[in-house]
Structure 1
C-alpha cells in the first residue's frame, strides 16, 4: 500500500524503520507537547504494535512512514486507529521538516485515501494545549475544536488541557 501527494509518499511502516521511530520518540522537539520521554523498551513496544497488520476492523494502528517523493528521505510518521467507528489520527515529523506544510499535506492525503478506499468519514485528534502547530494542521484539514478537557494530561510534571478535534464528512 502506498499513498501519494504532490511532494510525499507514505508507505506502511516496517521493521527497517526502527531507527526513524526511535529518533522521533526520543527527540525533545518532537515530543515536547505530545508525551513524556519513554525508555527504549517502551518505545520498542509502541513500535511493535505499529507493525501489526491493519484493516478497518483491526484494533491496531495504520502507521505510515512519510517520505519525500523526490529524495526518498524519511520525514516522520502518520496514521490512525479506528475506535467506535472514529479514526483517531496522529502524526510526528522530524524537526527539520516542521513549518513546511508536510504535516498538512500528509494528513490530507491520508484522509482522502481513507475516505475513498475504506469509506471512513469520522475523524478525531487529541492535541495537548500549546501544540499550536498541530492544531493548525488539523484546522487546515477540516477539523474543528469540539471539546477542551482542562488538566487532562501530564507532561514533565505539568498538567495540560487536551483539545479534542473532530472532522465529519458524512
Structure 2
C-alpha cells in the first residue's frame, strides 16, 4: 500500500473518498480524477474562493491485477479548496455535457504509455504534480502569478490519461487549454 500523500491536494483527494456523499453516490470502483481549479472573485463572503471540480470516473481492474480499463466520467464533485467542503455534485448522466447513448464502454486503459514503469516512479511523479497543484492553488487564492506553470503543464500532460482528455476538455475548458494546449 502506498504511503499517504504529503500534499494538501493529495490529502483532500483521499478525504473525498471517505465522504458519506462519495460513498453514497459513487460506485466502489470509481476513480477521482485530476482536479480542475476554479476561482470566484469575490465569492459569497466577499473574499476570493478557490474550488476544485473533481471528475469521478469508473474503472475495472484487469484480471491479472496489472492496470485497469477506464470509463468516462459519470459525475463531478466540486469542493472548497480551503475546507474540503463539498459544494456541488453533478451527475453527468443527467447534465449530459457529451453525447450519452446507451451504457458507456471502456474508453482506455491505465497505465498509459507515458507512465508505464515502476509503481514507485508513478507515485513520485504523482506526488510532484500534487505539490505543484498546492502551489498553483495557493497562487490562485492569493491572486499572484503561478511561477511553475510550465512545469505543472508538463507534469499534468505526462500523467493525464489520454483517453480521459476529451472529457477533461469539456469539463475543464480554459484550465485544460492553458496547461495541456488546444484540442
The TM-score normalised by the length of structure 1 is 0.29
Structure of larger gyration radius = 2
- Tell me which protein shows more helix as a share of its residues: 2
- Tell me which protein shows more strand as a share of its residues: 1
